[in-house]
Amino acid sequence: MGNILYLVAVLLVIFWALGFFVYSIGSLIHILLVIAIIAVLMRIISGRRL
């Protein structure tokens, strides 16, 4: 389950980067980026390693 969370976070960061350069997705992608960062931070804080 943790690997899926990490994969989703990485995908959201990639989509954010694409949306940042394309400007077609709008501000929704920034909300997704925040969710991805929170997911990664929660994984790091919980002490689990890859």
Assign 23 to helix, strand or coil. Answer: coil
Task: For residue 12, report the phi and psi dihedrals to the nearest 5 degrees.
Answer: -65, -40
Q: Which helix (H) or strand (E) holds 38?
A: helix 28-45
Residues 6 or more apart whose CB falls under 8 angstroms from that of 35 comprise: 12
Residue 25: predicted pLDDT: 55
Distance CA 24, CA 5 (A): 26
pLDDT at 26: 61
pLDDT tens, 1-46? Answer: 567 888 888 888 888 777 776 665 566 777 777 888 888 888 888 8
- Structure tokens that stand for 49 in this block: 């390693």
Please, are residues 45 and 5 in contact by the beta-carbon 8 Å criterion? no
pTM of the model: 0.46
What pLDDT is stored for residue 3 in this prediction? 79
